[in-house]
């Protein structure tokens, strides 16, 4: 079942049309990457999913229920980590989560259990310091804990990794992957390696439309003729292949890159005839980064 669907969603601010026709569906218990360049309209779309902005056209549903602008009942199912989360910085993480629980009206015993569980999940269970001394990574992790507090069915995170260093990003991505057990995650990003690491599916937003969407495999298959890497055991064999087939490119020590995949049989014939030992032959996967650049036309 789909936890979230956007159907032909459009948004303009006055004359300016930011989203023209955006449709995608986020299946339950997946991590879904919402990718787009700066200014593509990711935050705008997320705010519409939360009913914080009105759509100019189309429809958004959360677990089948339509989202209404203003106080939408669908937000009972949604947890949100904004792009720049704000906290009461004089509190410790445990105090902050208790405060979140209290304003949501949860019984105190449950608040304690849920806080402990979430602080463990985000690796802040031993942290007794006040939030004001926290690194960005720690703040983002606390933000995820806060967003998960009410056991949302859909967790929306707006660029949760953009400001983090590689270690902080890895920690946050691991947390989102773990969160998939109990929720569905929609997160926006322009960091394609994050998408490659943790997403089940994704949608690329470009010029107000979804330029590409699907599972990682589906998206990669859009480019059919992918290249092949051949790694030879002996450098002299790599040299002979290069001489015989001048279109081969060097791609590392003893490795050759064949872009003309249809010529692979000829190459293999020569390798077999000369009994050249091979270390590996591998279909080169299209890097998401390259695909993205192709889509945005650069």
Q: Which does 253 bind (CB under 5 to 8 A by kind): ligand ATP, Mg ion, none?
A: none
Which of residues 158 and 286 has its CB atom nearest to Mg ion in the complex? 158
Min separation Cβ 189 and Mg ion, Å? 10
Q: Which of residues 20-79 bind Mg ion (CB under 5 A)?
A: 42-43
User: Judged by CB, which is closer to ligand ATP: 53, or 94?
Assistant: 53
Picked from Mg ion, ligand ATP, none, the partner binding residue 101 (CB below 5 to 8 A depending on kind) is none
Closest approach, Cβ 214 to ligand ATP, in A, equals 20
23 by Cβ neighbours in 10 Å (0-12 / 13-18 / 19+) ranks as middle
Maximum CA pair distance of the chain? Answer: 76
- CB-nearer residue toward ligand ATP: 82 or 101: 82
Residues 153-172 close enough to bind ligand ATP by CB under 6 A: none
Of 102, 100, 139, 103, whose CA–CA distance to 123 is shortest? 139
Give every strand in the sheet of 228-232, ordered side by side.
249-250, 255-258, 228-232, 278-283
Residue 226: CB minimum distance to ligand ATP, A: 29
Question: What is the spatial distance between Cα 49 and Cα 59, in angstroms, rounded to a whole number?
Answer: 10
Based on CB atoms, which residue is closest to Mg ion, 205 or 248? 205
B/e letters for 199-230, b = 16+ CB within 10 Å, e = fewer, are bbbbbbbbebebbbbeebeebbeeeeeebbbb
Contact partner, 40, from Mg ion, ligand ATP, none, Cβ < 5-8 Å per class: ligand ATP
Chosen residue from 8, 13, 73, 90 binding ligand ATP by CB under 6 A: 13
Angle, CA 139 vertex, CA 72 and CA 172 arms, to 5°: 85
Beta bridge partners of 36: 205
Least spacing, CB of residue 153 vs ligand ATP, in Å = 23
Q: Quick one: which of 83, 24, 82, 41 has its CA closest to 201?
A: 24
Phi/psi at 154 (5° precision): -135, 125
Selection from ligand ATP, Mg ion, none that 72 binds (CB < 5 to 8 A by kind) is none
- Cα–Cα distance for residue pair 235/252, rounded to 1 Å: 11
Site residues (CB under 6 A) for ligand ATP, limited to 17-56: 18, 36, 38-44
**Binding-residue pattern over the window 181 to 220 for ligand ATP, x denoting contact by CB under 6 A:** ---------x------------------------------
Binding of residue 162 to Mg ion (CB under 5 A): no
Taking the C-alpha atoms of residue 254 and residue 248, their distance in angstroms, rounded to an integer, is 12
Instruction: Using CB under 6 A, list all residues that contact ligand ATP.
Output: 13, 16, 18, 36, 38-44, 190
């Amino acid at each position: 079942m789909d936890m979230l669907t956007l159907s032909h969603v459009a948004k303009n601010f006055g004359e300016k049309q930011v989203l023209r026709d955006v449709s995608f569906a986020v299946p339950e218990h997946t991590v879904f990457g919402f990718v787009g360049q700066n200014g593509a309209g990711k935050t705008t779309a997320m705010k519409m999913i939360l009913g914080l902005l009105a759509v100019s056209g189309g429809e958004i549903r959360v677990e089948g229920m339509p989202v209404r602008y203003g106080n939408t009942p669908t937000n009972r199912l949604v947890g949100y980590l904004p792009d720049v989360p704000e906290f009461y910085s004089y509190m410790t993480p445990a105090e902050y989560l208790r405060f979140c629980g209290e304003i949501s009206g949860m019984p105190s015993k449950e608040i304690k259990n849920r806080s402990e569980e979430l602080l463990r999940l985000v690796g802040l269970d031993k942290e007794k310091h006040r939030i004001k001394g926290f690194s960005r990574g720690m703040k983002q992790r606390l933000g995820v804990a806060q967003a998960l507090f009410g056991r949302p069915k859909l967790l929306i995170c707006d660029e949760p990794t953009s400001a983090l260093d590689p270690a902080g990003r890895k920690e946050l991505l691991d947390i989102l992957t773990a969160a998939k057990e109990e929720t569905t995650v929609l997160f926006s990003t322009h960091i394609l390696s994050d998408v490659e690491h943790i997403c089940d599916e994704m949608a690329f937003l470009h010029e107000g439309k979804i330029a590409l969407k699907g599972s990682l495999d589906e998206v990669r298959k859009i480019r059919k003729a992918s290249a092949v890497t051949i790694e030879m055991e002996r450098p002299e064999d790599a040299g002979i292949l290069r001489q015989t087939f001048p279109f081969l490119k060097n791609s590392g020590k003893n490795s050759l890159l064949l872009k003309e995949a249809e010529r692979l049989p000829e190459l293999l014939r020569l390798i077999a005839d000369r009994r050249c030992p091979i270390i590996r032959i591998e279909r080169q996967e299209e890097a998401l980064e390259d695909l993205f650049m192709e889509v945005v036309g650069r």
